[in-house]
Structure 1
Amino acid sequence: MFTERHIERHQLPYFLKVFNRFTDQPIGYLGNVSEDGLMLISNLPLLVGPDFELQLRIPGRNGSVQPINLTASCLWCHEDATPGHYDSGFMLLQAPKEYEQLVGALQRYFSFYPLSASA
């Protein structure tokens, strides 16, 4: 089974809530993202193996919310350094282009680029 990450992930200092797409119940918070997966931080351990139907709700303009629906398989789950919290790694099975746009926007927002020395 694939359990090691091969693509650098970007940490999110402010967490976005993740929901079960079908029950509308919160599952946890987005911990980090990549093009192929994500890490979720939750209060309860998640079952490793099954596919999950997830929904991210991205704040938009004028108080609107943009839902992003994902199908992902939970590859691993272990207790976080913070007691009472669990980290779970997911491999994306199905993600819309809006997810790719979110990953790109987060990478640009949280990345630092060297300034030109000619200034």
Structure 2
Amino acid sequence: MVTKIGKKIVMSERNSIRKHLFLYLDVFDKTNNQLLGYLGDISEQGLMFISQTQIMPDQLLNIRIELPENLQEMNKMCIDAQVKTRWTEPNINPQLNCIGCQFIDLDAEYIPVIQQITELLTFDEDFEIKRVRRP
């Protein structure tokens, strides 16, 4: 569910489909500018990034997603947001973790940017990707 409060978007339960990216974008911790990992999928409600770091569920993170410079269709250079980690799963590569996040504080100006990312940088809907190892 998407709730608009002034210029901010507040997200709750996921009800949109995330689209897997064919170009991973850098995800940084805004507080220390440390690379957290690489964006794996995104929707207007949340995202999943792939990281070498183990990040536990229920953490609040202030993140910055760096957008590609060579895509002129993008009218922003980054997405700044606060997210809450919801889950973590091992990646197929055991040295990596997939971390699912929900947007907590996202400025409404980023919604068209997320839509552009999903239009320009995602796989066809019929293409299936499995990044996490399921028991």
| TM-score normalised to structure 2 length | 0.70
Per-residue CA deviations over 1:31-81 (Å, capped at 9, x if unaligned) read: 0001100001001211211210101111336xxx82321100000001011
Alignment match, 1:50: 59
What secondary structure, in the 3-state scheme, does the structure 2 residue paired with 1:106 have?
helix
- Aligned partners of 1:111, 1:13: CA distance in 2, in Å? 6
Can you give the 5+ residue segments of structure 1 that lack an aligned partner in the other structure? 113-119
Alignment match, 2:16: 7
Aligned residues of 1:71 and 1:92 also touching (Cα < 8 A): yes
Identify the structure with bigger relative contact order (alpha carbons < 8 Å, sequence gap 6+): 2
The percent of aligned pairs where both chains have the same amino acid is: 25
How many correspondences in the alignment? 108
- Aligned partners of 2:17, 2:38: CA distance in 1, in Å? 19
Aligned residues of 2:25 and 2:68 also touching (Cα < 8 A): no
Once the 2 structures are TM-superposed, how far is the Cα of residue 7 of structure 1 from its aligned partner? 1.6
Say which one has the larger Rg.
1
Alignment match, 2:99: 88
- Which of the two has greater helix per residue? 1
What secondary structure, in the 3-state scheme, does the structure 1 residue paired with 2:49 have?
strand
What secondary structure, in the 3-state scheme, does the structure 2 residue paired with 1:22 have?
coil
